[in-house]
Amino acid sequence: RLAPLLAPSLLAADFANLQFEIERLAGSAADWLHCDIMDGRFVPNISFGVPVLQAIGRHAKQPLDVHLMIEDPQNYLAAVRDAGATNITVHYEACPHLHRVIQQIKALGCRAGVALNPHTPVWLLEDIAADLDLVCVMSVNPGFGGQAFIPNTLRKVAALKELLVDSGSSALIEIDGGVSLDNAAALVEAGADVLVAGNFVFGSPDPVATLADLRAHLSE
Ligand code: DX5
Ligand code: ZN
């Protein structure tokens, strides 16, 4: 039995009806709500920022899993926590002082995560792995929803799993980008603990039913 956490990404939800989108997920198979913050600098797209995150936080029943695709994330950590974040994930590629940023996230009482772009090797985490609560493996280039899953991710997840075990790290492995019924079971078998899904969930006619299908598929 495969029982990963499911984290639908609100990036693919209807931004004009966020309260409705969040409330209908309340009784669903969603374990976390994944919130993608983009600054148009670190990634070539702008999604939403802290004021919208605050609005999400006012209605959410599940923990907010906040993915910061921004430069200088250290400047926004307290505001993101105050908006209701449970998990804060920063990008490896955006943090020359990653160790300090991770300690800052933990000092705010949040789970600390690091995301890796598709070209960033997992071994770069060797000296920080034991400090992490979560590693987000990007299975698309960050910036947009609805992109195709990069198959090399499976090999990467297996290598990361090994690195975490060797480091004595209990960090969760999260996969973000192009996740669907086509790759979910293989990802969990390779070692994934959390699956993020945007388009697969919100691009379907019934997101709640789609999450239930995904959960059932992984329990078979
Ligand atoms: C991409 C974001 C993802 C995105 C995933 O930059 O980090 O969280 O919402 O969307 P899908 O599942 O559609 O690839
Ligand atoms: Zn994301």
Atom of ligand 1 nearest to the CA of 45: 6
The answer to whether the CB of 176 is under 6 A from ligand 1 is yes
The predicted pLDDT at position 54 comes to 98
The answer to whether the CB of 179 is under 6 A from ligand 1 is yes
Give catalytic status of residue 72 as yes or no: no
Q: Which secondary-structure segment (H or E) carries 173?
A: strand 172-176
- Smallest Cα–Cα separation from 53: which of 128, 137, 114, 110? 110
pLDDT < 50 regions, the chain: none
Domains parsed from the chain with CATH numbers = 5-219 (3.20.20.70)
The answer to whether the CB of 8 is under 6 A from ligand 1 is no
Alpha helices in the chain (DSSP H): 18-24, 50-59, 77-82, 98-107, 153-167, 184-190, 199-202, 207-219
Query: pTM for the complete prediction?
Result: 0.98
* Among 10, 140, 183, residue to substitute to test ligand 1 (most atoms within 8 Å of Cβ): 140
CA distances from 200 to 82, 148, 169, 177, 193 (A): 30, 11, 30, 10, 18
Give catalytic status of residue 176 as yes or no: yes
